[in-house]
Chains A and B, each alone.
Chain A
Amino acid sequence: MSGDDGVFIRPPTDIRNKVSVGGPGSVDQAALARAEKVILDMAGSFVDMVHEDVANLHKELEALKSNGGDAATLDNIYRMTHDIKGQGGSFKYDLITTISRQLCNFIEELKGNVKPADIEVIALHVDALQVVIAQDLKGDGGDVGSNLLSGLEKVIAKRSSGQD
C-alpha cells in the first residue's frame, strides 16, 4: 500500500484558494449545456480536421501493403487509429470511434503476426473510415453506419475463423 512506509507531504498550494463557489461565471448546469453546445459547433468542422489524419492512415496502409506487414508500420497504424478513435466520439462522430476501436482490437489480436488477409481487413476498416468522412456520417451513422459495421464484423469473423 502506498505511503505505509513513506512520508506524507502537504502540497505547497491549495487549489481551493483559487476557486469560488456559485455566482456569475461558475460552472452550473447551464454553463455545462453551453459548453456541450460549443463542442457541437466545433464538430461541424471535425470532418475537415480528421480528413488529414485518415489520409495519413491510408498512406501507412499503402506502406504496410508494400512491406508485407512490417511491425513498425503496423504500430504506426495502430497508434494513428487509436488517436482517431479518441477524437471521433469527442466530436460526436461515434461511428468513427466504433470502427477505429474495432480496428485497434483486430490489430492487438494479431500480436504482430500479419498475413496478407489481415492487411485486407485493415484496408477495409480504413476504407470504412473514409466513407464515414465522405458521407459525413454523424453519430452512429444510421442505416449506412449499421451496414458498414455489419460488413466489417463479418469480415473479422471470417478472418478469425481462419477463412481467407
Chain B
Amino acid sequence: MDADPKKSYNLERINFLIVDDNKHMRALVKTILHALGSKSVHEAADGAEAFKELRHFPADIIICDWNMQPLDGLDFVKLVRTGSDSPNPYVPIIMLTGHTEMTKVMEARDSGVHEFLAKPISAKSLYSRIRSIIERPREFVRTKTYFGPDRRRQQIDYRGPERRKNAQKKVVDAAEAEPSEGGEGGELSQAEVEALMNG
C-alpha cells in the first residue's frame, strides 16, 4: 500500500536528527529537510554522538546512515531501541544506505528501523519515507528476541476508539510496558558502546 500522494504535510514542527559520518551527506540531507520546510534539524557524526544528542534533543525522526565508524547504523539502532539508558526507544528511524540487498534490508528491519532509504537519495524519496512514518504509525512489539516497530506494518489509529478485533492481542501504552530484561534483544549500555568504539 503506497502512501497517499495527495497529502502534503507541513514539517515545520518535526525535530530531525541526522546521523552520518560523511559530512557531505549530512549537509545534503539537512539541505533537503530545510528546503522541505523543516526548522529543527540536528546532526551527529556517529552513533555515540547521536545517542548523547538524544538526551537533550527530542527527535521525532532520526535519519541514520548504515556505514559509520566506529559505531555503525545497526548498532546505533539497537542501542536506541534496547539500550537500558535510551532516551527515546520509540523514535521512528529511517535507515539510509547504499546496501539494497534483501538480506541487508531484512537485517535493517530486524534491528528496529521504520523505513529504509537507498542511496542515491532525492528530495522526493526522502519525503516519501517521512510521509510513510506520518501516515502509518506503527505499534511496537516486544518479544523475547525483538523490540521495535511491528514488522507487519499494520496501520493503527491511536486517536480513534480501540478497534482491535483480535481479543488475543494485548496492546498496552508505552508507560505500562515492562522494560526489556536485556540480553537476547541485543541490549547495549553506554559502557558497551564505549567498548565497541574502542574496539
Contacts and interface: CB of A to CB of B under 8 A. Distances in A.
Contact of A8 (B9, B10, B60, B141): B141
A12 B172 CA distance: 10
Contacts of B140: 8-11
B120 A3 contact: no
Interface stretch (A22-30, A118-126, A143-151): A22-30
Main secondary structure of the interface of B (DSSP, over half): loop
Nearest to B141: A3
A31 interface: yes
Interface residues of B, number: 58
Contact of A3 (B9, B28, B69, B143): B143
Contacts of B143: 2-3, 5-6
Interface in B83-137: 90, 92, 97-98, 119-124, 127, 133-134, 137
Interface residues of A, number: 49
B62 interface: no
B35 A34 contact: yes
Contact of B37 (A26, A49, A87, A90): A26
A36 B174 CA distance: 38
A79 B67 contact: yes
B141 to A, nearest CB: 4
